[in-house]
Amino acid sequence: MVFSIASKKLFSQFGISYFRISAAPTGSGQILAASGCYYNQIYRSQIRHKGLGIVTTGSIHSRSNPKMPVITVLPENFEETIDPIQRELLAEECILVDSNDNILGHESKKNCHLVQENGDILLHRAFSVFLFNTKGELLLQKRSKVKVTFPSMYTNTCCSHPLFRNDEMIENEGFGVKVAAQRRLYEELGIPKEDIPLEVFQYLTRIHYKASSNSIWGEHEIDYIFVIKRDVMIHPNPNEIDDVRYVSLDELKDLKNQKDVKLTPWFNLILESGKLQLWWKNLNNLKPFEDHETIHKM
């Protein structure tokens, strides 16, 4: 569907030679997307017009020149539908990387998770923690229903992002990402840093995956995999987590087969690949599974 709701005069100051406004229904209203040919670089600037609510949200390549950014257009009240705490977190700066995990820069969490018009999502650095108790059970969480991406889905113990700040960008053996994981385990599950010192985080490997949550939001990550084997006290943050449970491998398989249960795509990919089962069966000797050179594309 094409809308003639804006004039070329509105966009001419930004060097746009032509444009098209299109809309696709989504679960939370409508997302508007604009595409066109650009003669200048427009990035992270905001373009607002009375009644249109046009906001640039990221770089989308145009068909005529992949290096030129194109606007994604969202309804003016778009962010008002998001939980206020989760909305505040969208301002955090994530680490942009290339496919070899080299740091390229940074971008807001919001822009890193918006699905662009061509289906692209900015590639950024992330982590997944698998925390097992001394009985060999994995701690799962069910993501809160107010989460922006993949709400109400079961996933591994903790999944989030290192931020673009000095202590979380230290590259040595994933040290900075461990710092971020330790921070988020406290913020999501209330586990104090003293209970999970950095030396108990065993860095296994990295995966590269991409998945859409809906037509607006998605993930595109190079994900650092950490395993912890430790008994901890947990105090889940209800804004982040709706449920927690420890499961055996067989119980996880049963949970996965329940019709009303959905797993997050990264968790499901790791499970389907057989890697999780292999790690699980070798919790007391994971050293042979450490591979810090390979990024496994899933």
C-alpha to C-alpha distance for 293 and 204, rounded to whole angstroms: 10
Alpha helices in the chain (DSSP H): 8-12, 84-89, 109-113, 175-189, 249-256, 265-273, 275-281
Per DSSP, 167 falls in state G
Alpha helices in 75-143 (DSSP H): 84-89, 109-113
Per DSSP, 109 falls in state H
C-alpha to C-alpha distance for 204 and 128, rounded to whole angstroms: 11
Write the burial class of residue 189 (CB in 10 Å: 0-12 exposed, 13-18 middle, 19+ buried).
buried
C-alpha to C-alpha distance for 167 and 165, rounded to whole angstroms: 6
Which residues, at least 6 apart from 266, have a Cβ–Cβ distance to it below 8 Å? 128, 155, 159, 207, 209, 211, 219, 221, 223, 298
Q: Which of 128, 115, 152 lies closest to 241, judged by CA?
A: 152
Q: Hey, which residues are catalytic here?
A: 159, 221
Chain centroid, CA 1 distance in Å: 29
